[in-house]
Structure 1
């Protein structure tokens, strides 16, 4: 994950079940019976990494994340090694049977150069599996860009966000196919129903808002959240059963020639 923001494992985990769904869908398409060595690149706080051990109990799993806060919150699971590390410079000591990257690459501007390199690090028959959010044109992100670039905030926040940080499924398929790799690429939009006060604001506090809040002091953050939260409430109105928050994700599972 990006080191431009201080990550908060507790805030990220507020909607832990909803955030776990894409990871489960991604792994369901990984057709490996017994990978010996798995790398989880950008593992966050490690709860989802632990599910890799449940599915493949004999695998040796190495997991890295750029956030010391996240790694400090990782569980102690036999067979999994957690460490602070940079996904952009990661190089395995030997070929890897499965490389997983979950909701990380949107934070890495150079990830289109990394993906072919990661795929080349796979053992014969290995798989590269990753998923990224595809909702950067959704109101949650469009409104965030509008507020950041408004006259009140643009001097502090005008350059904090990347506007189009990921490709669509066809774009990733093309990228990997041009490097000689087979790829299964698809997208899913979850119509999530969130509960609580200002649930969409609480959601983005755990992800998209992290680099924004890192730049602001407490008083500024309160003013920013008041302004942005009001726009979110209009874009995502509450209903008697909760607040509907469409959540688009892009998935890729790639292998060798």
Structure 2
């Protein structure tokens, strides 16, 4: 089941806000070489182009559907179809930027020092990842995975294979960099529609679940998930749904 750019961008402004908050804390005045890891449809890559217009910018993503959208929107940027777990730059980078992508990768104790090693002197690693894996939106997926004839097909929990506590990133990165800024923010998204939480996560969290299921089981799994999140995130009096979303941020200067 491929990633769906249109579904992902249905909440474009809400998804973009953490990237803007991360970029605001990047201390670089200029950058010659920039990589956007997990660039998706290129909406965050555009921010990097605007911030560093003279940079040689590379966007990396494994989804051909997302990259097709990115290439159409930003023809002047080099986009590479690759697994960000194995991709490597061909020269040191001034900025490695990754918004809502690295949580899919395991072994962060090895990954983050490796990313820092790719930085040029004075370079910056800037990362934002969801930290909501114990919130109802995510526990509902793990529970639904065990609630039906599909239970043997799914491996709940892989969507946050590597994410650790901020103190862990401090322990791994502080000896390697001259400045390290770590923080977390919980955004309260005000969503409209009949089932906005399922709609939100159908293009992210639920993709690997749905991909692993046989087609005849997908509707049942979604119904089991929908039932749980509707109970956990009831509509407010004005018809809108409030969904908290915790995110963690890392800015490391080499």
The interval holding the TM-score normalised by the smaller chain is: over 0.9
Give the equivalent residue in structure 2 for 1:42: 38
Give the equivalent residue in structure 1 for 2:183: 186
Task: Write the distance in 2 (CA, Å) between the matches of 1:164 and 1:110.
Answer: 8
2:193 to 191, 196, 215: 196
- Structure 1: any 5+ residue segments left out of the alignment? none
Equivalent pairs, count: 252
Q: Decide which moves more: 161-170 or 46-55.
A: 161-170
Q: Residue by residue, what CA displacement relative to the aligned partner does 1:87-145 show, whole Å, maximum 9, x if unpaired?
A: 12222221110000111111111343121111111111110000100000000111111
Contact 1:15 1:203 (8 Å CA) reproduced:
yes
Deviation (angstroms), 1:163: 5.8
1:24 to 17, 20, 26: 20
- TM-score, normalising length from structure 1? 0.92
**Correspondence 1:67 to 2:63:** yes
Within 5 A, what are the aligned runs for 1:95-134? 95-134=92-131
**Correspondence 1:91 to 2:98:** no
Contact 2:107 2:162 (8 Å CA) reproduced:
no
After superposition, the CA RMSD in angstroms is: 1.7
State the SS of the aligned residue for 2:158: coil
Q: Decide which moves more: 221-230 or 24-33.
A: 221-230
Q: Residue by residue, what CA displacement relative to the aligned partner does 1:166-188 show, whole Å, maximum 9, x if unpaired?
A: 11222212211144553100000
State the SS of the aligned residue for 1:106: helix
Contact 1:192 1:246 (8 Å CA) reproduced:
yes
Contact 1:45 1:73 (8 Å CA) reproduced:
yes
Task: Write the distance in 2 (CA, Å) between the matches of 1:158 and 1:107.
Answer: 14
Contact 1:149 1:158 (8 Å CA) reproduced:
no
State the SS of the aligned residue for 1:131: strand
Q: Residue by residue, what CA displacement relative to the aligned partner does 1:31-84 show, whole Å, maximum 9, x if unpaired?
A: 111111101111011111011111111111011101111111113425411120
- TM-score, normalising length from structure 2? 0.93
Kindly report structure 1 stretches of 4+ aligned residues shifted beyond 4 Å: none
